[in-house]
Amino acid sequence: MAEKTPLTKRYEFVLLFDVENGNPNGDPDAGNLPRIDPETGCGLVTDVSLKRKVRNYVELAQGEQDSYAIYVKEAAVLNNLNKEAFLHNPDIELKENKPDKMAAKKREDQQTLARWMCDKYYDIRAFGAVMTTGVNCGQVRGPVQFSFARSIDPISPMDVTITRMAVTNEKDAEKERTMGRKSIVPYGLYKMEGFISAPLANQTNFGEEDLELLWSSLINMFDHDRSASRGKMSAQKLIVFEHDSKLGNAPAHKLFKLVQVRRKPEVDIPRAFEDYEVEILSASEGVRILEKL
């Protein structure tokens, strides 16, 4: 597999996205209601939900090209994918070799398997993976990590009644219609913070080409993730902090505070991105601020 152009800089980023009349991330433990912080009333979207959208976009944009396959996807049998690494490295000495249990004996062979998986799968070299489920390809710590997204203001989830003219069972055929419910957020602006470690990226072969694809994914992922339940979701701003060095020139938490998002004073109930003002303060020396969107 082709070597990537190594990352030489640390990055942090802030993604602002919004939802209009939709459910950005339902909670299965709460009847699929929009996730919410019970103490503040602010909406939440999990990191894994956003990573799923990135994976889906990369799969659409790159197909099954070498080094851009997706490891964690619908109906994937992970142990079968792990076995491919052993098949492509037949010289590895095995400690265990059973249909559902395979492991390399030597540490350098374990690293070879993990590197092969990183080279093939975009999401492994970006987000990492635990590949020790029987067929053991090791664990990879990913250089790209997301925080939970949190809404700027408290959200007000609504339960909306909907009707359907068709019925599911023959015994209900005499009914004129069946009833259902869906939960929506009328409007919410969310802020997600992300981190990219250059030293970890060099370990997984996550390169400059992968980084550009990540920016493209964050900007475009909602346009290819439409559904009746999610309403209108849109990426509104992507602000990137680029350090001058691998280890970084300023603490991440201080950089995130430079992005200030406030509801405009004259707005009582926000219903659009234009109801907010975004101010980006000056960064410290050694950090450049890039607006990708």
Q: Which structure tokens are listed for 47?
A: 């990191």
d(CA 8, CA 197): 10
Q: Based on C-alpha coordinates, what's the Rg of the chain? A: 22
* Tens-digit pLDDT string for the chain (293 aa): 567 899 999 999 999 999 999 999 999 998 899 999 999 999 999 999 999 999 999 999 998 788 999 999 988 999 999 999 999 999 999 987 787 889 999 999 999 999 999 999 999 999 999 999 899 999 999 999 999 999 999 999 998 888 877 777 777 777 767 777 889 999 999 999 999 999 999 999 999 999 999 999 999 999 999 998 999 999 999 999 999 999 999 999 999 999 999 999 999 999 999 999 999 999 889 999 999 98
d(CA 14, CA 149): 10
d(CA 208, CA 205): 10
Q: Report domain extents, the chain.
A: 11-291
Using CA of residue 87, residue 90, residue 95, residue 99, what is the dihedral sign?
positive
Helix (H, G, I), strand (E, B) or coil at 80: helix
Q: Which structure tokens are listed for 155?
A: 């959200």
